[in-house]
């Protein structure tokens, strides 16, 4: 039996229940169908991590809830970006000095990332550049979620220290970000 056949034989009977929950969450048939489809795709992607004998229905509903939450946040970011764009003034192309400064900033960030251990760099890149959740990162690198959270925290702390030090070298005023 292929992975797809195995997945469908176990999960397909839950589709109607997933749809019912999705419909209650979204109040839209189209959005509910999309949410269930996204949930099924994500569940299939992580099917290898499902522990046979554990509660499949709970696992699927957790994926549905997380997918809905992620979709809500993604839509909120898009709405915010669109609203800001609608009210944004016409942008003036950057000056050559701004371009050089941007290149230097990217280089500084790249150098700071290079100073991190491979594990820390990998975790922070997946979280902050690729936008993966802690749970997705944990599954991808096969480590507990606490380890992922710890690595990201330490990596961000090291990056902050390195970038502040570089800013002080350049005698740039640094605003504390919390």
**What is the reported pTM?**
0.45
Q: Which long-range contacts (CB under 8 A, 24 or more apart) does 139-146 make?
A: 139/46, 139/49
Give residue 117's pLDDT.
92
Same topology, domains 3-87 and 96-169? Answer is: no
Mean pLDDT of all residues in 67-72: 85
Kindly report the CA angle at 76 between 146 and 39, in degrees rounded to 5?
A: 60
Question: What's the CA gap between 178 and 156, in Å, rounded?
Answer: 12
**Candidates 3.40.50.150, 3.30.390.50, 1.10.1740.10, 3.50.30.60; correct CATH number of 3-87?**
1.10.1740.10
Counting Cα atoms < 13 Å in the Cβ hemisphere of 36 gives 19
Question: What's the CA gap between 142 and 138, in Å, rounded?
Answer: 6
Asked if the model's pLDDT at residue 98 lies above 80, the reply is no
Q: How confident is residue 10, by pLDDT bands cut at 50, 70 and 90?
A: very high
Instruction: Report yes or no: 25 and 68 within 8 Å, Cβ to Cβ.
Output: yes
- Give tens-digit pLDDT for 19-50: 999 999 889 999 999 999 999 999 999 999 99
CATH architecture for segment(s) 96-169: Orthogonal Bundle (1.10)
Asked if the model's pLDDT at residue 175 lies above 60, the reply is no
What mean pLDDT, rounded, does the chain reach?
86
Domain-wise residue ranges, the chain: 3-87, 96-169
Comparing 149 with 80, the larger pLDDT belongs to 149
């Amino acid at each position: 039996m292929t992975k797809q056949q195995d997945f469908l034989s176990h999960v397909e009977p839950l589709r109607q229940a997933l749809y019912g929950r999705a419909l209650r969450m979204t109040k839209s048939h189209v959005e509910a169908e999309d949410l269930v489809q996204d949930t099924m795709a994500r569940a299939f992607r992580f099917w290898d991590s499902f522990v046979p004998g554990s509660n499949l229905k709970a696992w699927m509903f957790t994926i549905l809830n997380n997918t809905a939450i992620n979709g809500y946040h993604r839509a909120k970011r898009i709405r915010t970006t669109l609203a800001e764009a609608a009210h944004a003034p016409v942008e003036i192309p950057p000056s050559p000095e701004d371009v050089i400064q941007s290149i230097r900033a990217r280089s500084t960030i790249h150098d700071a990332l290079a100073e991190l251990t491979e594990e820390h760099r990998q975790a922070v890149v997946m979280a902050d550049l690729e936008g993966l959740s802690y749970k997705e990162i944990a599954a991808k690198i096969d480590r507990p979620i606490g380890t992922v959270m710890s690595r990201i925290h330490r990596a961000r702390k090291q990056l902050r220290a390195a970038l502040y030090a570089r800013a002080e070298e350049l005698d740039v005023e640094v605003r504390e970000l919390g």
